[in-house]
Structure 1
Amino acid sequence: MSKISKKSLIASSIVGAMALAGSNFASAASLNELQNGEAAIIKASANSQKKINGIYEQTQELLAEYRTVVDETENLKVYNDHVQRLVNDQQAGIDSLERQIGTIEETKKGVVPLMYKMIESLEQFIELDIPVNLKDRTERLERLKDVMSRQGISVAEQFRLVLEAYEIETDYGSMFSAYQGDLEFEGTNITVDFVHMGRTVLVAQSLDLKNAWIWDHSNREWKALEDEYLSPITKAIRMARKQTAPDLVKLPVYAAGAGE
Structure 2
Amino acid sequence: MNKFILLSLIPQLLICAPAMGNTQVKTVHEQASKAVAIEAKAQRQYQNWADLKEQKSDEIREMKATEAWLEFQNQKYSRYVNKQEGVIAELKRRKEEAKRIKMELEPFLETVVDQLELFVKSDLPFLNDERTRRIQFLRDSLDDYHLQLSEKLRRVFEALLVETEYGQNISTSTQELMINGKTTQVTIFRLGRAALYYQTTDGSEIGIWDKDSNTWKTLAPTYALTLHRAKDMAERKRAVELLKLPLGVAK
- Normalising by structure 1, report the TM-score: 0.59
- State whether residues 180 and 191 of structure 1, in contact with CA within 8 Å, keep that contact through their aligned partners in structure 2: no
Q: After the TM superposition, which of the residue ranges 160-169 and 121-130 deviates more from structure 2? A: 160-169
**Structure 2 CA distance for aligned equivalents of residues 190 and 90 of structure 1:** 72
Q: Does structure 1 residue 180 correspond to structure 2 residue 200?
A: no
**Structure 1 CA distance for aligned equivalents of residues 202 and 69 of structure 2:** 86
Cα gap change, 1:168/1:73 in structure 2, threshold over 3 Å: closer, same or farther? farther
Deviations 1:203-251 (A, max 9, x none): 1224454443311111111233443322211110111233211112232
Q: What are the within-5 Å matches in structure 2 for residues 49-64 of structure 1?
A: none
Amino acid in structure 2 at the alignment position of 1:177: I
Identity of paired residues, percent?
A: 28
Instruction: Tell me the residue number matched to 2:5.
Output: none
Q: Does structure 1 residue 151 correspond to structure 2 residue 122?
A: no
Cα displacement (A) at 1:74: 7.2
**Structure 1 CA distance for aligned equivalents of residues 141 and 208 of structure 2:** 35
Q: Across the two proteins, how many residue pairs are aligned to each other?
A: 197
**Structure 2 CA distance for aligned equivalents of residues 189 and 139 of structure 1:** 25
Q: After the TM superposition, which of the residue ranges 151-160 and 72-81 deviates more from structure 2? A: 72-81
- State whether residues 182 and 189 of structure 1, in contact with CA within 8 Å, keep that contact through their aligned partners in structure 2: no
Q: What are the within-5 Å matches in structure 2 for residues 24-173 of structure 1?
A: 82=76, 85-173=79-167
- Normalising by structure 2, report the TM-score: 0.61
**Structure 1 CA distance for aligned equivalents of residues 176 and 192 of structure 2:** 19
Q: What are the within-5 Å matches in structure 2 for residues 153-232 of structure 1?
A: 153-173=147-167, 175-186=168-179, 190-232=184-226
Deviations 1:181-200 (A, max 9, x none): 42432465555432222332
Cα displacement (A) at 1:120: 0.9
Cα gap change, 1:115/1:73 in structure 2, threshold over 3 Å: closer, same or farther? same
Amino acid in structure 1 at the alignment position of 2:198: A
User: Structure 1: 5+ residue runs without aligned partners?
Assistant: 1-58
Cα gap change, 1:245/1:203 in structure 2, threshold over 3 Å: closer, same or farther? same
**Structure 1 CA distance for aligned equivalents of residues 74 and 237 of structure 2:** 70
Instruction: Tell me the residue number matched to 2:247.
Output: 253
**Structure 1 CA distance for aligned equivalents of residues 113 and 156 of structure 2:** 7
- State whether residues 191 and 207 of structure 1, in contact with CA within 8 Å, keep that contact through their aligned partners in structure 2: yes
User: Structure 2: 5+ residue runs without aligned partners?
Assistant: 1-53
Q: Considering only CA atoms, is the larger Rg found in Structure 1 or Structure 2?
A: 1
**Structure 2 CA distance for aligned equivalents of residues 90 and 251 of structure 1:** 66
Secondary structure in structure 1 of the residue aligned to 2:216: strand
**Structure 2 CA distance for aligned equivalents of residues 161 and 192 of structure 1:** 33
Deviations 1:63-102 (A, max 9, x none): 9xx99xx6x9978876775566445434432332223222
Deviations 1:89-133 (A, max 9, x none): 344323322232223223322222221112111111111111233
Amino acid in structure 2 at the alignment position of 1:251: L
**Structure 2 CA distance for aligned equivalents of residues 183 and 224 of structure 1:** 16
Amino acid in structure 2 at the alignment position of 1:244: R
**Structure 2 CA distance for aligned equivalents of residues 210 and 90 of structure 1:** 77
